[in-house]
Amino acid sequence: MGPYHTLFIYELSDEISVKGDVFGQDFIGCWNEAGNSFLFFSRDHDEEVRKWLAHQDRGKLLSRHVMDYRDWQAGEDLKPFRIEKLAICPPWEAAEIADNEILIRLDPGVVFGTGLHPTTRGCLKALWEIYQSDTPRKVLDIGTGTGILAIAAAKLGAQEVLAIDHNELAVETARRNILLNGVEDRVEAKLGQAEVYAGKEAEMVLANLHFQAIDALLRRKKLYSNRWFVLSGIFPGQIDGLLAFLENWHGKVHDKMEENRWVTLVLGKTPP
C-alpha cells in the first residue's frame, strides 16, 4: 500500500472492537478513546459503515470527518530519514542505505510514532548510543505506538522485546510493522496497561510517554532492577522531580538530549 492521501474518519458512540477484515483494505483501523470509537479509512465508506452499524448491538454514528493525511501528521511528509546509522523508511519509498546502516521499515498509519517527533528522535539516538557499548538483551517498551523503538532495539541487538500499549490500534499497527521488519521472533506487541508490566524482567525500559505516566511508573520500585532507562516526553522543568525517585537506584544520567524543549533522559547503571 502506498502513502495515504485523505483520511475518512467516522466517530461512533461507545467503544467498539472491529474484528476481522470487515471493511476491506481501505480500512486503516479503529481507535477507541474516552468512551467513543473512531473508524479510519483511506476512502469514503459512508454506506458500508451505516450497514455495519445496523447489525451491531451498540454504537451510533456521531460525526464524519475528512482530513488530509499530511495534516493528521502535523504537516509532516513521511519520507526516509536517518538517526545515526538507523535509516527509517516508509514501505512505499525506495530504501537506499549504506552497508553500515540498519533499515527500519515503518508505516505509522494513524498512530503516534513516525520517528520525526523530537521525543522519538531522542529515543532512537539514545538506543544507538547504548548499543555501541552494551547489549541489553531484554527490553520493555512501554507505550510502543507504532513499535518503532521496539523494532530499533531488536535490530540493534536485543533478543527479547516486549512492546506494550493500552490502545488496540497502536498494538495492531506495531504488529504490522514488526512483521514488515522481520523481527517477530524477537519482538512481541501486547495490549495492556503500563503498570501491569512494570515488574516485567528486563535490562532496559523505554518509556516515550507524557510526564504523568512516567512519574507514575518511576514510583514502582520493581522497575529499578533494570540496567537502563530511556525516558522521553519530558519538559526541562520536570527533570528534577523524576530524578528524585531514582536517588536509591544507584544509577546516573548518561545523557540528556533536548530538542524543541522536549527532553530525552538516558539513565544507566553501567558506564557506556
Q: CA of 174: how far to CAs of 114, 183, 218, in Å?
A: 12, 11, 25
Q: What are phi and psi of 16, to 5 degrees?
A: -125, 140
Q: Where do the structural domains in the chain lie, given as residue ranges?
A: 6-72, 112-268
Give me the chain's average pLDDT, please: 90
Counting residues of the chain whose pLDDT is more than 70, the rounded percentage is 97
Whether 246 and 231 have beta carbons less than 8 Å apart is answered as no
Q: Which residue has the higher pLDDT, 24 or 88?
A: 88
Give the pLDDT band of residue 201 (cuts 50, 70, 90).
confident
In this predicted structure, what is the pLDDT of residue 272? 43
In this predicted structure, what is the pLDDT of residue 72? 87
The CATH class given to the 112-268 domain equals alpha beta
Amino acid at 252: K
In this predicted structure, what is the pLDDT of residue 241? 82
The grid coordinates listed for 28 are 486503516
Q: Does the structure show a pLDDT above 90 at 221?
A: no
Q: 0.75 cut: is pTM over it?
A: yes
Q: Does the structure show a pLDDT above 50 at 69?
A: yes
Whether 9 and 67 have beta carbons less than 8 Å apart is answered as yes
- Among 93-102, 123-132, 133-142, 191-200, the minimum mean pLDDT is found in 191-200
**Beta strands at 187-191 and 160-165: parallel, antiparallel or unpaired:** parallel
Q: Does the structure show a pLDDT above 50 at 7?
A: yes
Give the pLDDT band of residue 231 (cuts 50, 70, 90).
very high
Q: CA of 155: how far to CAs of 15, 105, 245, 266, in Å?
A: 35, 11, 31, 19
Give per-residue pLDDT as tens, 11-49: 999 988 887 678 988 899 899 888 899 999 999 999 999
DSSP string, the chain: -----EEEEEEEES-----SSSS-TTEEEEEEETTEEEEEESS--HHHHHHHHHTSSS--EEEEEEEEHHHHTTT-----EEETTEEEE-TTS-----TT-EEEE---TTSS--S-SHHHHHHHHHHHHHTTT----EEEEES-TTSHHHHHHHHHT-SEEEEEES-HHHHHHHHHHHHHTT-TTTEEEEE--HHHHTTS--SEEEEE--HHHHHHHHT-GGGGG-SEEEEEEE-GGGHHHHHHTTTTTT-EEEEEEEETTEEEEEEESS--
